[in-house]
Amino acid sequence: MPIPLLIPQANPKANYIAHKDEIDSAITRVMESGRYILGQEVAAFEAEFAAYIGVRFGIGVSSGTDALHLALRACGIREGDEIITVSHTAVATVVAIELCRAKPVFVDIDPSTFLIDPDQIERAITLRTKAIIPVHLYGHVVDMKSILSIAHTHRLYVIEDCAQSHGATYGGRKSGAMGDMAAFSFYPTKNLGAFGDGGMVLTNNPGLAERVRLLREYGWRQRYISEISGLNSRLDELQAAVLRVKLKYLDQWNEERRRKASIYTKLLEGTEIVCPTEKELVHHVYHLYVIRTKRRDSLQVFLKEKGIGTLIHYPTPIHLQNAYKHLGYCRGDLPRTEQCSQEILSLPFFPEMAEPQIEDVVNKIRHFFEE
């Protein structure tokens, strides 16, 4: 008989329940409008989210994967080009690169943040390198000063992968406002999550913005007339309306995430657990609360038996996955990435999580290590 899940790793339904009336009203407004694709809700959300991040243009698309893909396409990335990024990321980062028939080139991570190590980038640059995709993972932001300096020196595009960093900042600037382009996901468990898939491309460059608008809907500027070869990748009105409601609360939810992360960190003091860190200049928004322990697998089993949900973000680095053998990487090529994948564990974490639930999780973790 399955063990009942008493504390889930994530709980997007709790977010809905907390603002049910306002969200339901927004959904009803869309249903009664009769306009369900690329209407006033999408246009309003594009403007509001771009303003929140601090850029000029936002283009709503169907997913975070498509946001990255279309950003790359808008930058002219094509077959044979090389894009530098990390193997420790959601596979969507690499899927977007390969959709352009470009080649992902992996560099290792900073083991304290799990983010791309800028010191590893220069040696990976070749004549075919066209862009860097820094992935702001778990709510932390990459050292963008170093990334932008390298990109400027080598005339490379910087496309920020912000799928897990809504509202996070570096040096007072929000993630998504520093590169040439940025890609956001609104998957339901994100800090700003829809009730299905959704994404957005952000940029300050009017030419790149216009190209993404064309790409997302068949290359149309005039309906049914394709100026360029595009695809169907539209954020729908329902998701935009929901996201407009939620955007008003994003900073509040992020501060609640920070507060609860600090509770976890304080309660875990004195254990062998390595807790998340926040680097100088960064305002972490804790999309996930990711710990490290060499006894990860047995701890995860133990917590599951106690009804506590956990996940591993991510259990197998992309360069070691069967689907990407053609890239030519071997075990040992990215030692920090490979080690962290064996030790990381995402604990239950969401803004509505009650403090007694956090205490319960920590008490069980302490019990595990005392056995």
Per-residue pLDDT of 293-322, as tens digits, reads 999 999 999 999 999 999 999 999 999 999
Question: Across the chain, what does the average pLDDT equal?
Answer: 97
Same domain, 178 and 283: no
Give the Cα separation of 130 and 140 in Å (integer). Answer: 25
What is the DSSP annotation of 182-247? EEEE--TTSSS--SS--EEEEES-HHHHHHHHHHHBTTEEETTEESS---B---BHHHHHHHHHHH
Is 301 inside any structural domain? yes
- Cite the beta strand spans of 55-120 per DSSP E: 57-61, 82-86, 103-107, 109-110, 115-116
Same domain, 196 and 298: no
CA distance readout (Å), 321 to 85, 148, 314, 333: 16, 30, 11, 13
Give the Cα separation of 52 and 49 in Å (integer). Answer: 5
Containing domain of residue 223, as a range?
13-107+114-247
Give the Cα separation of 243 and 236 in Å (integer). Answer: 11
Mean pLDDT of 281-291: 98
Same domain, 275 and 357: yes
Is 47 inside any structural domain? yes
Is 338 inside any structural domain? yes
> What are the two backbone dihedrals, phi and then psi, of residue 206, each rounded to the nearest 5 degrees?
-65, -35
Residue pLDDT, tens place only, 80-139: 999 999 999 999 999 999 999 999 999 999 999 999 999 999 999 999 999 999 999 999
User: What local confidence, expressed as pLDDT, does residue 1 receive?
Assistant: 60
Same domain, 181 and 66: yes
Is 4 inside any structural domain? no
Token couple for 264: 């976890």
Same domain, 59 and 197: yes
Name the band, by pLDDT with cuts 50, 70 and 90, for residue 3: confident
User: What local confidence, expressed as pLDDT, does residue 83 receive?
Assistant: 98
Last residue of a domain, one of 247, 279, 302: 247
pLDDT at residue 141 is higher than 80 = yes
Report whether 168 contacts 282 (CB < 8 A).
yes
Same domain, 52 and 143: yes
Is 6 inside any structural domain? no
Is 7 inside any structural domain? no
Name the band, by pLDDT with cuts 50, 70 and 90, for residue 176: very high
Q: pTM value? A: 0.97
Same domain, 197 and 305: no
Same domain, 217 and 254: no
pLDDT at residue 196 is higher than 80 = yes
* CATH number of the domain residue 221 falls in: 3.40.640.10
Is 95 inside any structural domain? yes
Count of domains observed in the chain? 2
Same domain, 204 and 310: no
* CATH number of the domain residue 305 falls in: 3.90.1150.10
- Portion of the chain with pLDDT greater than 70, in percent: 100
Is 299 inside any structural domain? yes
Same domain, 181 and 275: no
Last residue of a domain, one of 202, 220, 247: 247
Closest listed residue to residue 369, CA positions, set 285, 268, 253, 230: 268
Same domain, 304 and 219: no
Strands 290-292 and 282-283: unpaired
pLDDT at residue 5 is higher than 90 = no
Last residue of a domain, one of 247, 281, 311: 247
With a CB cutoff of 8 Å and minimum separation 6, the contacts of 52 are: 167, 174, 247, 250
Same domain, 47 and 190: yes
Name the band, by pLDDT with cuts 50, 70 and 90, for residue 4: confident
